């Protein structure tokens, strides 16, 4: 008999076997309907084989679905990713089929002119409509084009002059033209583009670090490499990954300008029907360039030749909900599986990527100067101990004076504070109680725009109470510390005539609002932008010449191993927004600890000194990139059940050399959404089979169903 192993979207560790009916031809990657209990599930064939019999009766595959099969590279990648992350392979396969969950786009009703029917009476308005009806248009679009009311359109429809037709939603993806508008590259850019283009033309897996200072033109360099890929192979496909939705629109415009055709877009802001169209366009080869978020890695590319991970250092490439994976690492793996060139681009590369480049495992392409006439901004540390802000203020006198001069010259200021809302903590003046979210250790953040207290971890929100919930004191709740809303309030009081705006995930919750705010800033309609990290990377504002970092010490208070690295990267990216055109820029960093090594190397512009010192510390401790980490997080509603599960795990650790297990211990956020949390941390030498150790360990333990276990290979968050 013939047997098919089928990956189904369930949290099970392996594929299910099904008998293949004699009249069904199945192959790896085919999509099928299979019975599981009373349900039919969509699954992916991972393997077919002949067998002489079985000691158990297998259910049969119900049907082969009409949807396209996943290409071999996509199947190999899905199974590799599941093994690497210790995730259920069926759930990982479901990621690759995500685009098919939405229905087909509904056809649009449009109006067309029936040349055989003349209007009963001719008027100027009707004549304008008929002149505008040169192609199918919706009633609203036709009325707008002719400058008439909807009543005029309806009258012509009623008379049969205009007829309704159903037009299928657009599925065409215009082909990019590699020769459309080549960029004018400087010597460094041209050398990088040449090296990348040669790698693409040669074929095979080749990873590169494209390491360029902010504003050096990394985008132009990798777009020229994309042009080389498209011109060398008429069927080649290119994937460009970005960490933030807010960055996609600017890049889409640049891709469209370079190739004369917009790329396909893939992220959570794209509608379901459109995602289905993109998925189908990718698997058919009609989509040549995709710009998207980390999940675009799972699209079914049949001929992927170039993968670009822009801002590769960014922590947003790490997914920590649901399936836990790092988009950058999986991008390198997919490039290896597909035999594609991989470009990791950043002005502040991650230490893991830099270590690979230094060791020669990655090609290292460096852009050392800004493109054109722009120069890097000057950086200066403002010692708040010597010149602190006024009482109940957060901006120092020097920064305020620089902002005034910048505004007087008609230039723009960016105030950077990576803290959303109005105040990060709300406490009672009477008893000192700090307000937290119900069933969560996370503090509630005050948001003045909405008048609510919000938990940024769980999304819980509530109106600010009139009394302290602990002691009952009236009007005693007070905000402590600044968020971006509070800084904006201060800016408005200092510069009431300045045009001020806030850029955070609260004020620009979707791609459309982010695009609108970015365009206003780029067009000079904003004088002072107060922003979180949402504006700290990838954006180009020609009139922005001053960046003020409100609290440069903020990230240094973190307790995990990447606190210093993240702070250095974020501050360098934020300050790098200044002076990107023909006007010189400057950055002022407010700090209470100007002697901190991270801030000293940042002010000196000596990235290599910071990297050298940080790598020495990591190597001495055997931490990434010289060692590997994995976190095991246990959670449950009952603390005693979580404690017992943690004890079971701790008592079942296999013997292993060059590997240590720390914990179990309460997670820093020990209570989230009513679930108690404990963590164990595994540290292993780089050449230890960490995944093999984890599989052997977890196979020894059967945890109670009331306790959830999450495995995070190469963790980025330690909360």
Residue 615 CA to residue 609 CA, distance in Å, equals: 10
CB atoms within 10 A of CB 400: 17
578, 546 Cβ separation under 8 angstroms? yes
pLDDT of residue 244 exceeding 90: no
Work out the average pLDDT over 481-495.
Answer: 93
Q: 83: helix, coil or strand?
A: helix
CB atoms within 10 A of CB 543: 19
Phi/psi zone of residue 472: left (φ > 0), alpha (ψ -120 to 50 degrees), beta? left
Fold for domain 378-419+482-615? Answer: Rossmann fold (3.40.50)
How confident is the prediction for the chain on average, in pLDDT?
91
Q: Which pLDDT belongs to residue 558?
A: 62
Q: 175: helix, coil or strand?
A: coil
Q: Which pLDDT belongs to residue 374?
A: 65
Query: What is the 3 state secondary structure string of 532-584?
Result: CHHHCCCCCCCCEEEEEECCCCHHHHCCCCCHHHHHHHHHHHHHCCCCCCCCC
CB atoms within 10 A of CB 666: 17
**Using CA of residue 367, residue 370, residue 373, residue 379, what is the dihedral sign?**
negative
Fold for domain 627-713? Answer: Alpha-Beta Plaits (3.30.70)
Which pLDDT band holds residue 54 (cuts at 50, 70, 90)? Answer: low
Q: Which pLDDT belongs to residue 559?
A: 64
Mean pLDDT check: name the lowest of 20-34, 553-567, 678-692: 553-567
Residue 103 CA to residue 467 CA, distance in Å, equals: 49
Phi, psi torsion values for 669, nearest 5 degrees? -100, 90
**Using CA of residue 442, residue 444, residue 449, residue 450, what is the dihedral sign?**
positive
Q: Which pLDDT belongs to residue 600?
A: 93
Residue 552 CA to residue 391 CA, distance in Å, equals: 19
pLDDT of residue 396 exceeding 90: yes
Q: Which pLDDT belongs to residue 154?
A: 92
Tens of pLDDT, residues 403-447: 999 999 999 999 999 888 888 889 998 998 989 888 888 888 998
C-alpha 61, offset from chain centre: 37
Residue 346 CA to residue 310 CA, distance in Å, equals: 6
Kindly give, in sequence order, each residue whose CB lies less than 8 Å from that of residue 4, ignoring residues fewer than 6 positions away.
17, 18, 19, 20, 26, 32, 45, 47, 48, 61
Work out the average pLDDT over 484-500.
Answer: 94
Q: Is 378-419+482-615 in the same CATH topology as 2-96?
A: no
Residue 680 CA to residue 689 CA, distance in Å, equals: 18
CATH 3.40.1440.60 for the 2-96 domain, yes or no: yes
- For the chain, the structural domain boundaries read 2-96, 108-167, 187-367, 378-419+482-615, 627-713
Please, what is the Cα angle at 502 between 536 and 291, to 5 degrees?
Answer: 45
C-alpha 557, offset from chain centre: 24
Strand 264-266, strand 289-292: pairing: parallel
Residue 310 CA to residue 539 CA, distance in Å, equals: 12
Query: How many residues are given for the chain?
Result: 719
C-alpha 186, offset from chain centre: 30
DSSP one-letter string for 118-148: --SS--HHHHHHHHH-SS-B-HHHHHHHHT-
* Closest listed residue to residue 363, CA positions, set 226, 220, 197, 233: 197
Q: Which pLDDT belongs to residue 537?
A: 72
Strand 63-64, strand 31-36: pairing: antiparallel
Beta partners for 480? 425
455, 437 Cβ separation under 8 angstroms? yes
Residue 235 CA to residue 686 CA, distance in Å, equals: 38
Mean pLDDT check: name the lowest of 48-62, 116-130, 581-595: 48-62
Q: Which pLDDT belongs to residue 442?
A: 83
Work out the average pLDDT over 501-523.
Answer: 84
CB atoms within 10 A of CB 103: 9
pLDDT of residue 169 exceeding 70: no
Q: Which pLDDT belongs to residue 459?
A: 83
CB atoms within 10 A of CB 69: 19
Residue 204 CA to residue 521 CA, distance in Å, equals: 42
* Closest listed residue to residue 666, CA positions, set 656, 680, 652: 680
Fold for domain 187-367? Answer: Rossmann fold (3.40.50)
- High-pLDDT (> 90) share of the chain, %: 66
C-alpha 646, offset from chain centre: 32
Work out the average pLDDT over 314-339.
Answer: 94
Q: Is 131 exposed, middle or buried (0-12, 13-18, 19+ CB in 10 A)?
A: exposed
pLDDT of residue 100 exceeding 80: yes
Q: Which pLDDT belongs to residue 488?
A: 95
Mean pLDDT check: name the lowest of 514-518, 627-631, 686-690: 514-518
Work out the average pLDDT over 457-479.
Answer: 89
Q: Which pLDDT belongs to residue 170?
A: 62
Q: 407: helix, coil or strand?
A: helix
Which pLDDT band holds residue 105 (cuts at 50, 70, 90)? Answer: confident
Q: Which pLDDT belongs to residue 93?
A: 94
- pTM listed for this prediction: 0.86
* Closest listed residue to residue 350, CA positions, set 302, 313, 396: 313
Q: 490: helix, coil or strand?
A: helix
Beta partners for 167? 108
Kindly give, in sequence order, each residue whose CB lies less than 8 Å from that of residue 64, ignoring residues fewer than 6 positions away.
24, 25, 26, 30, 31, 32
């Amino acid at each position: 008999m013939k047997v098919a192993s089928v990956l189904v979207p369930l949290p099970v560790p392996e594929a299910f076997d099904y008998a293949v009916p004699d009249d069904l031809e199945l192959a790896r990657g085919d999509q099928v309907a299979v019975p599981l209990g009373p349900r039919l599930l969509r699954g992916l064939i991972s393997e077919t084989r002949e067998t002489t019999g079985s000691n158990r009766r297998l259910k049969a595959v119900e049907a082969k679905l009409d949807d396209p099969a996943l290409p071999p590279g996509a199947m190999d990648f899905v199974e590799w990713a599941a093994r690497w992350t210790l995730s259920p392979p069926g759930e990982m396969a479901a990621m690759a089929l995500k685009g098919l969950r939405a229905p087909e786009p509904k056809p649009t009703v449009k109006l067309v002119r029936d040349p055989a029917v003349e209007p009963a009476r001719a008027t100027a308005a009707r004549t304008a409509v008929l002149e505008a009806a040169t192609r199918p248009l919706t009633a609203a679009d036709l009325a707008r084009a002719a400058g008439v009311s909807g009543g005029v359109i309806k009258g012509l429809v009623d008379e049969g002059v205009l007829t309704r037709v159903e037009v299928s939603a657009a599925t065409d993806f215009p082909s990019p033209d590699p020769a459309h508008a080549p960029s004018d590259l400087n010597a460094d850019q041209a050398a990088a583009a040449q090296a990348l283009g040669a790698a693409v033309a040669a074929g095979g897996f080749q990873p590169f670090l494209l390491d360029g200072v902010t504003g050096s033109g990394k985008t132009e360099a990798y777009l020229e490499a994309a042009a080389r890929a498209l011109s060398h192979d008429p069927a080649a496909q290119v994937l460009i990954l970005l960490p933030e939705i807010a960055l996609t629109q600017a890049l889409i415009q640049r891709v469209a300008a370079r190739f004369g055709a917009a790329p396909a877009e893939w992220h959570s802001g794209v509608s379901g029907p459109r995602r289905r169209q993109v998925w189908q366009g990718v698997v058919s080869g009609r989509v040549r360039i995709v710009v998207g978020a980390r999940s675009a890695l799972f699209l079914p590319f049949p001929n992927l030749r170039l993968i670009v991970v822009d801002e590769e250092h960014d922590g947003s490439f790490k997914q920590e909900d649901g399936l836990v994976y790092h988009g950058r690492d999986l991008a390198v793996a997919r490039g290896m599986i597909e035999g594609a060139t991989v470009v990791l681009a950043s002005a502040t590369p991650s230490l893991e990527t830099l270590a690979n480049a230094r060791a020669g495992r990655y090609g290292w392409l460096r852009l050392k100067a800004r493109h054109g006439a722009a120069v890097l901004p000057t950086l200066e540390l403002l010692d708040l101990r010597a010149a602190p802000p006024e009482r109940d203020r957060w901006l120092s006198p020097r920064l305020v004076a620089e902002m005034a001069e910048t505004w007087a010259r008609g230039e723009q200021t960016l105030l950077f504070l990576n803290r959303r809302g109005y105040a990060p903590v709300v406490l009672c003046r009477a008893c000192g109680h700090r307000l937290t979210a119900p069933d969560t250790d996370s503090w509630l953040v005050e948001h003045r725009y909405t008048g609510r207290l919000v938990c940024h971890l769980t999304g819980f929100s509530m109106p600010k109470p009139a009394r302290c919930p602990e002691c009952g004191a009236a009007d005693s709740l007070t905000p402590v510390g600044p968020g971006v809303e509070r800084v904006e309030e201060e800016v408005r009081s200092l510069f009431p005539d300045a045009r001020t705006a806030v850029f955070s995930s609260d004020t620009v919750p979707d791609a459309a609002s982010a695009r609108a705010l970015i365009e206003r800033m780029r067009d000079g309609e904003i004088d002072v932008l107060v922003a979180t990290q949402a504006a700290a990377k990838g954006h180009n504002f020609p009139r922005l010449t001053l960046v003020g970092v409100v609290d440069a010490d903020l990230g240094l208070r973190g307790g995990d191993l990447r606190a210093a690295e993240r702070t250095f990267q974020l501050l360098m990216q934020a300050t790098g927004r200044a002076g990107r055109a023909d006007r010189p820029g400057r950055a002022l960093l407010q700090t209470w600890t100007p002697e901190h090594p991270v801030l000293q190397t940042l002010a000196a512009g000596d990235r290599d000194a910071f990297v050298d010192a940080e790598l020495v510390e990591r190597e001495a401790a055997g931490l990434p990139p010289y060692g590997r980490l994995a976190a095991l997080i246990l959670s449950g509603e009952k603390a005693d059940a979580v404690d017992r599960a943690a004890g079971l795990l701790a008592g079942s650790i296999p013997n292993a050399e060059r590997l240590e297990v720390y914990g179990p211990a309460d997670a820093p956020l020990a209570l989230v959404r009513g679930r108690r949390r404990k963590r164990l941390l595994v540290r292993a030498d780089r050449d230890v089979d960490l995944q093999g150790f984890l599989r052997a360990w977890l196979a020894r333990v059967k945890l109670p169903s009331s306790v959830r276990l999450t495995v995070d290979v190469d963790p980025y968050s330690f909360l």
